[in-house]
Structure 1
Amino acid sequence: MTKRALIMVEGHRGIGPLFVKAARRLGLHPITLSANPACYDYLAAARSEAIRVDTDNLDSLIRECSRVRATYDIAGITGFSGLDESVYVTVGKLCRHFDLPGPNPASVERCYDKFTQRQLLAAAGVPVPAYRLAANATEVEGFAAEIGLPVLLKPVEGSGSVGVRLCCTIDEVAEHTTHLMSGKHIWRSSPRILVEEFAQGPYYCVDIMGNEIIGIAAGGFGPPPYFVFREFAYPAALTDDEHELIADTALSSLRALGLAWGPTCIEFRWTKVGPVVIEVNPRLGGAPSPQLIQLAYGVDLITENIKLVIGDEWNLRRKLSHTAAARFLVPDRDGIVDWSDNDNFAAAVPGVAEVKWYIEPKTPIIRKGDYRDWIGYVIAASPTLAQTEAILQAAVSLIDCSITPFPAMGG
């Protein structure tokens, strides 16, 4: 009998290893197609098959999948994004070509372009921040004045808050526009900047599979002007009315964007006018969201997502009712980050589920103001939010991490 393969386009440092393990548990042979497989160290560590191919080229991917099909039965195709969410569009096109379950590439592409996404949501009556699309510095400054400071500036395409900054003065607007336009930010096409009203209020994220809401999380950020998560917790502490209003708005967002298949995570701010959609992402949330969902609700989102991808029956029935939370480890300055193995003490605190490091000791760090600033995280779970937060605090206090500033330049 021909072995069944799960094709994964590109990888993901957080949830990629979980997909490899889950695929094997389901009796599948995971194969990663990547422009640079060496970027994902878990592939070598897990001895998982990887094939180098230009993942920006659909024809090349089709040829490589066809070669794989000579040896394996391709059960399903999925993918991940780091900075480039167009991977999901490509995955949708591959699934269509090979007649496999997958997302509608046109719907995914509408989400990938944040301006188009905003237009469709607003046209459907879904609350979004005021926004304008700018192609040059003059337009950015004009639209910032029109919307009213403070404003957010963000690239129209991208993820992980890369290139996103809160600007409170016109000088900050000019400074960040120069940063985005001067070649320091990598654009896949001609630069387009979204100038957006700053929706102020608590942050929430809704995880959905198909049309089924899995859970609503609460998140907290580090200091402005950037949006780097410091903590994340399931479930969010909401009243029944707040939960219902966020859930209804999330489902309205799906309808507006034509999303009815697979995983989606929708980000909100609860403002003085209620929930406002910040972004709709037609994909699973990154690590540690799937781990937190499993700890809080007993739902293995990675496994259920693979079942969906390969056309098997999937089940999101909750088996637990706990609170699970993450505390991200983020450096407060640039320099050489060192940490010692006594994080084993943190992992041994009752209730801690995982202590994860993204870096090796003695790693030089230059902060970017986005998800790349995370050097690790601690996750924990218990019956209550207060208890989970106490567990996290106890664990983080046991981690010995120091940052040595870079030597001063000059003589």
Structure 2
Amino acid sequence: MNSKKKIVAFVEPSFYGVSFVRAAYEQGFQIISIVSSPENPVKYGYEGIYHDLIIADIRDEDSLYEAITNSEYHHKLDALIPATDYASHLTAKVAERLGLKGVPYEAALKSRNKDLAREAYAEHDVPSAKFKKVKTFEEAALAAGQIGYPVVLKPTNASSSQKVFFIHSSGELEQAMADIVDFKETYMNFKVREEYLIEEYLDGQEFSVELFLQDGDPIFAAVTEKTTSPLPYFVEIVHTLPTSVYSERQEDIVNTAVSALRAIGLINGPSHVEVKLTDKGPRIIEVNGRPGGDNISSDLLIQALGFDIFKATVHYYLDLPIDIHTHQNRAASVAYLTAVKDGTVSTIRGLEHIADNENVIRSHISVQSGDRIVVPKSSDDRLGYVITIGNTPTEAREAALGLIRNIELIYT
């Protein structure tokens, strides 16, 4: 490493992006956080592990660019890294303007917009879902009739299963369209596009593939097994790494994920690709051009394999050596606590078992007595989690599930 301390700027660290800040800070780099509010380091949990703030409208490319060029760090930044999904394409464009290394803007734009990604998959023969982009109920009904029920209705540029609907009929579709058109803003006040996707429902086991690519080839790959909530919702409630099922199909799953990344132009750096293994083979759900969230990259990869994808990504942006070797061989799982019905919690039982369990690495239960809870429709409705390790994926998964199932929520 050069004797001069590298200066690394992150755009709006939040959720998974906090792990970027921590990885860079622990490496001894100078950390600049570009944020929409000076309160955000406390809000997202990285107070004390950054060195300076730059305030900007992270929803606006010119605001980001001008905030950097008008700061003392103009011509001094060694890296500019998106630390939230929503600003990834804007960060890519600003990095281009500053002459810094980054993801190609068009690739970042496609990874943020599901319709553009689906179009790229179709153009490059990547196995995916049938889809139509729609604006009105009439267009949606026509598309659903052409694709065939059941279908999925979703926003083109949201995440965390927000406003994703499983639909059997025209009547359900009409209700869902009335709901989705009122969804105007997502996290951090980013606008939701008034264009939506009708997609073929893909039936099968769901996975995510955690990848690091170099010139289009994977130098690291791991397959995470996923469990989602009962239909009609798609909330992720268990992740296990590596997968405990269909291990013989991992190569097919990884190859399909890599083909999707190549199709949209994400050929370097980290990614998190969601795949379903259908009776016709792996099919792409969506691509994210960043490390996986939901404790997958921050906990499961590290606990199971000893691989820090955040550190590797920071090194990639700084043109430093990347350590992609796995340093251990075990399994890890995270299971989320969810409500089985809507209501108000009076008592929570079973938490004492978590602290006594030797498999537990970390847990966080956010629900308290008096809280109003709902059956989860998006990731925001989950009530906490338990992270466990095991010698095998099945052991880790069953440990996490067992502890979550032992938590009893008593309703008033």
Same fold (TM > 0.5): yes
Q: Using the alignment, how far apart are the partners of 2:90 and 2:191 within structure 1?
A: 15
Q: CA deviation at 1:103?
A: 0.7
With 41-50 and 348-357 compared, the bigger mean Cα shift is at: 41-50
Q: Using the alignment, how far apart are the partners of 1:368 and 1:185 within structure 2?
A: 19
Question: In 2 relative to 1, CA 180–327 (structure 1 residues): closer, same or farther, beyond 3 Å?
Answer: same
Q: CA deviation at 1:71?
A: 8.8
* Residues 50-69 of structure 1: pairs in structure 2 closer than 5 A: 50-69=53-72
Q: Is the 8 A contact 2:331 2:391 kept in 1?
A: yes
* Residues 292-307 of structure 1: pairs in structure 2 closer than 5 A: 292-307=300-315
Q: CA deviation at 1:142?
A: 1.4
Q: CA deviation at 1:340?
A: 6.8
Q: Which residue of 2 aligns with 1:111?
A: 111
Q: Which residue of 1 aligns with 2:323?
A: 315
Q: Is the 8 A contact 1:5 1:74 kept in 2?
A: yes
Percent identity, aligned pairs only, is 23
With 344-353 and 359-368 compared, the bigger mean Cα shift is at: 359-368
Q: Which residue of 1 aligns with 2:141?
A: 141
Q: Which residue of 1 aligns with 2:22?
A: 21
Q: Is the 8 A contact 2:332 2:397 kept in 1?
A: no
- Superposed CA deviations along residues 36-77 of structure 1, whole A, max 9, x for unmatched, are 343552446436444432112222212322344449942322
Q: Which residue of 1 aligns with 2:252?
A: 245
The answer to whether 1:223 aligns with 2:230 is: yes
Q: Is the 8 A contact 2:224 2:243 kept in 1?
A: yes
* Residues 320-331 of structure 1: pairs in structure 2 closer than 5 A: 320-331=328-339
CA RMSD of aligned residues (A): 2.7
Q: Is the 8 A contact 1:150 1:169 kept in 2?
A: yes
Query: What secondary structure, in the 3-state scheme, does the structure 1 residue paired with 2:78 have?
Result: strand
Q: Using the alignment, how far apart are the partners of 1:263 and 1:204 within structure 2?
A: 17
- Superposed CA deviations along residues 317-350 of structure 1, whole A, max 9, x for unmatched, are 1122211111012223344457779846514411
Q: Which residue of 2 aligns with 1:409?
A: none
Query: What secondary structure, in the 3-state scheme, does the structure 1 residue paired with 2:249 have?
Result: helix
* Residues 69-108 of structure 1: pairs in structure 2 closer than 5 A: 69-70=72-73, 73-81=76-84, 85-108=85-108
With 383-392 and 338-347 compared, the bigger mean Cα shift is at: 338-347
Question: In 2 relative to 1, CA 158–183 (structure 1 residues): closer, same or farther, beyond 3 Å?
Answer: closer
Question: In 2 relative to 1, CA 330–68 (structure 1 residues): closer, same or farther, beyond 3 Å?
Answer: farther
Q: Using the alignment, how far apart are the partners of 2:32 and 2:345 within structure 1?
A: 34
Q: Using the alignment, how far apart are the partners of 1:22 and 1:115 within structure 2?
A: 33
Query: What secondary structure, in the 3-state scheme, does the structure 2 residue paired with 1:171 have?
Result: helix
Structure 2, unaligned runs of 5 or more: none
Q: Using the alignment, how far apart are the partners of 2:335 and 2:396 within structure 1?
A: 11
- Superposed CA deviations along residues 284-309 of structure 1, whole A, max 9, x for unmatched, are 11131111011111101121122112
* Residues 147-186 of structure 1: pairs in structure 2 closer than 5 A: 147-182=147-182
Q: CA deviation at 1:175?
A: 0.5
Q: CA deviation at 1:367?
A: 5.8
* Residues 194-343 of structure 1: pairs in structure 2 closer than 5 A: 194-210=197-213, 211-212=217-218, 213-238=220-245, 241-290=248-297, 291-336=299-344, 343=351
Q: Is the 8 A contact 1:346 1:398 kept in 2?
A: no
Query: What secondary structure, in the 3-state scheme, does the structure 1 residue paired with 2:77 have?
Result: strand
With 44-53 and 133-142 compared, the bigger mean Cα shift is at: 44-53
Q: Is the 8 A contact 2:7 2:78 kept in 1?
A: yes
Instruction: Give aligned pairs, total.
Output: 400
Q: CA deviation at 1:258?
A: 1.3
With the length of structure 2 as denominator, give the TM-score of the two structures: 0.88
Question: In 2 relative to 1, CA 125–7 (structure 1 residues): closer, same or farther, beyond 3 Å?
Answer: same
Query: What secondary structure, in the 3-state scheme, does the structure 2 residue paired with 1:94 have?
Result: helix
Query: What secondary structure, in the 3-state scheme, does the structure 1 residue paired with 2:32 have?
Result: strand
Q: Using the alignment, how far apart are the partners of 1:240 and 1:120 within structure 2?
A: 28
Return the letter of the residue paired with 2:151. Answer: V
Q: Which residue of 2 aligns with 1:9?
A: 11
Question: In 2 relative to 1, CA 333–51 (structure 1 residues): closer, same or farther, beyond 3 Å?
Answer: farther
With the length of structure 1 as denominator, give the TM-score of the two structures: 0.88
Q: Is the 8 A contact 2:157 2:193 kept in 1?
A: no
Q: CA deviation at 1:16?
A: 3.5
- Superposed CA deviations along residues 211-262 of structure 1, whole A, max 9, x for unmatched, are 3242011101111111101101111135565112112212221221111121
Q: Which residue of 2 aligns with 1:193?
A: 196
Q: Which residue of 2 aligns with 1:374?
A: 382
Q: Using the alignment, how far apart are the partners of 1:303 and 1:341 within structure 2?
A: 38
